[in-house]
Amino acid sequence: MLPLYLLSFAATIPAFSQLLPGSCNFESNTCGYTSDADFTSWTMHKDGHFVAVETATNDEPDDNTGSGFEPKREITGILLSPVLEYEDWSCLRLVYQITESGSLEVLQRTEGKSFDKLLWSSQTPSDSWVISSMDLLNDTEPYRVVIEGKPGMSVGSSVAIFEIHISPGYCLECDFEESHLCGYTNQWNANVNWYVGGGGINFIYNNMPDDHTYHNKTGHFMYADSGYSKTLKEVAKLASPMTNVPMSGCLSFQYQRMEDRGNLFSVFTRDRLGQYQELWRAGSEDQGQWSKTTGEWIPVQVDIRAPYSVQVVFEAAFRSAGGGHVALDDVSFSPEFCSTDAEPIFDPSIANCDFESGFCHYTQDQVTGPSWRRVSVKPNIFRNGDHTTGAGSFLLAHSQLGPRSGYVSRVISPTLPGNMKYCLRFYFSLRGFNQTEQALTVYLLQQQSGSQEKIWTQAEKSRGIWIAADVTFQPSQPAKVAFVSTCRSFWDCGSVALDDISLSFGDCELSAGSLSSSLSGHCDFEDGMCGYTQDKQSDAADWELRRGSTPTSYTGPRGDHTSGLGRYLFVEASPMLPGQNVRLLSRPLRGARGPQCLRFFYHMYGSGTGKLRVLIDDDGEDMLLWQRSGEQSVAWLRAQVEYECNRRHQIVFEAIRGASVRSDIALDDIILEGGPCPETENSSTSGTSNEIE
């Protein structure tokens, strides 16, 4: 028996699958992979057959620390693949090791685009080689795979690549014929585990089957047996690689069970939080299709919907040591559902609404009446605008807007299918409520049973700013979401505002990562500066990260734009003199064909506010793209700038102090994307809206 956990990357099993261009085992050369000359070079190790980038150290000990050899500087190595052209879906498997500390990223670079698309990343060190898998979607444009390694600052840190393996098909698919087992891993258990079967090995059990792929004893499959099982709590778990792109379709596999009454065999999906959802469970009815004498494999097809990252987990459990065995082979995937009558894929964005063009698919309760009003606020220095742009529309329930002293306002979403996990995000702002628990509540309205379930209630006093709320829920039947604001009497109530409702699949904890961690070119400053740096030629002050209000009164924002409780970047005007400037530089950007769109939110509030400018630094020459002067609004305002530059360049944000210390300027939620900027909607001409001066 060969335990899966003991399988290393020794080439003991012949490779049968087709390898695509871009694959490399670094045995004698780098297969067309090259190091980016602007960064540290990856080194080919002749004795180890791998490439690595390592932390550089000083030749002399550091007298200040007394800790011996210390790294000189941060090291980054960029490894570029040859140009790849894959018309069909393919799977990239990477065998790598991070020693001591460091990070490794795999990205996709398309010619003519300023930013690379992140496919996968890791910062987890290990004592041995690790395999990771990532799906490469079919693409009509040629591209390169970019591998970025950053060894940590501690001595001995390195990032190494042993093998790059690209094959046609999906990463979920596996016939278990290769030594890497397609990245499938066994969750080690003291008594019950998955093992590699076949390969001409003589087994203790004479009733082990031929494999399904080749129908002989030399092919391979996975199996779990009950030889040492003591209790059903001991479960053998075989987990696929984690998907990195949305996948929906038909999952197929072959299996066998011996002594079906003595074992259980199930298939689940498991997300990044470790939460399981059952896809399929073997039943006694399957036994009629299987002949014990011939060892027939049983085919299974099951629909899978994975709009977020999941693993497929095959679980086998045994009641006793005489519980027989379970065998598995030939896992495959098709983007078409198994049955033609499968429900169509639901698009959760149907419940998205920024209220710029009306109520979208939301409706108001016919019983309580239309208490929610769609309103807009012109940029001013007294009252906050909407969250979407700072000058657009949002929903408002206000005791002074209704004909009664009290009210119950209900705005209801479109119907959502049951048995799916959803993440609801929305923004709210409260003014004047004494009973905040009644100011805004979210209910789930079950369609079939007619029951309602409270899934969120207000706990954070918003202080008149926009605050983000995230709610995870999973209805058992079709349901609607209702936003309810209750005002019992005029004296207890104020106003509640609602904006930017969005709905996606999965747990909110999985999608709560910042913009900067998910997409290149996006930065919300929650995890740092995202590669933006200070221009040291202008040292009057610095752009600083901040939460809450700025130190000087009557200037600057009271919270960030992303969530109301997060971080933003600002310039404190107090230590500066009038006319002094502070510049923020993006990392160098590759030139791109066609237009690029820069979007960001800015805050310019204060009687002495100076100027904010956006420029392109093109080989030392500044070109002005956009600017605003003087006090603009107490709200965060959205700006978007379209430009073209086919040479290497940097984006520059320049803040210039005004006449007084009330001149703080702030930035948040910067997004730079390829393609033209979307046309801004004129909310005053679409739908109905009340304007609040």
Burial class (CB in 10 A: 0-12, 13-18, 19+), 565: middle
Q: How many Å apart are CA 104 and CA 75, to the nearest integer?
A: 12
Give me the chain's average pLDDT, please. Answer: 85
List, for residues 233-244, the tens digit of each pLDDT value: 789 999 999 998
List, for residues 481-519, the tens digit of each pLDDT value: 999 988 777 666 778 899 999 999 989 988 754 334 445
Confidence of residue 399 (pLDDT cuts 50, 70, 90): low
Give just the sign of the alpha carbon dihedral 26, 28, 30, 35: positive
Q: What is the DSSP string of 540-551?
A: S--EEEEESS-S
Which of 243-247, 351-355, 375-379, 462-466 is predicted most confidently?
351-355
Residue 67 pLDDT > 50, yes or no?
Answer: no
Q: How many Å apart are CA 8 and CA 273, to the nearest integer?
A: 27
- What is the DSSP code (8-state) at residue 149? E
CB 91 within 8 A of CB 169: yes
Task: Specify the pLDDT at position 291.
Answer: 44
> Cβ neighbours of residue 291 under 8 Å, at least 6 residues apart?
none
Q: How large a percentage of the chain has pLDDT more than 70? A: 85
Confidence of residue 643 (pLDDT cuts 50, 70, 90): very high
Q: How many Å apart are CA 159 and CA 142, to the nearest integer?
A: 27
Mean pLDDT, rounded, for 111-138: 89
Residue of higher predicted confidence among 211 and 502: 502
How many C-beta atoms surround the C-beta of residue 681 within 10 A? 15
Angle at 586 between CA 581 and CA 591, to 5 degrees: 125
Mean pLDDT, rounded, for 221-225: 92
Task: Specify the pLDDT at position 327.
Answer: 94
Closest CA to 278 of 287, 288, 268, 286: 268
- Note the pTM of the prediction, 2 decimals: 0.85
List, for residues 645-682, the tens digit of each pLDDT value: 988 899 999 999 999 999 999 999 999 988 899 886 44
Confidence of residue 401 (pLDDT cuts 50, 70, 90): low
Closest CA to 598 of 583, 584, 582, 615: 615
Least confident of 71-75, 149-153, 634-638: 71-75
Task: Specify the pLDDT at position 1.
Answer: 34
Mean pLDDT, rounded, for 377-393: 92
Residue of higher predicted confidence among 369 and 600: 600
In the block, tokens 């969250």 appear at 387
- What is the DSSP code (8-state) at residue 439? H
Residue 13 pLDDT > 50, yes or no?
Answer: no
How many C-beta atoms surround the C-beta of residue 569 within 10 A? 24
List, for residues 601-634, the tens digit of each pLDDT value: 999 999 999 999 999 998 888 999 999 999 999 9
- Strand pairing report for 441-446 and 479-487: antiparallel
List, for residues 405-439, the tens digit of each pLDDT value: 567 889 999 999 998 899 999 999 988 766 566 78
Q: How many Å apart are CA 562 and CA 641, to the nearest integer?
A: 20
Q: How many Å apart are CA 423 and CA 417, to the nearest integer?
A: 13
Mean pLDDT, rounded, for 272-281: 92
CB 89 within 8 A of CB 20: no
- Strand pairing report for 373-377 and 690-692: parallel
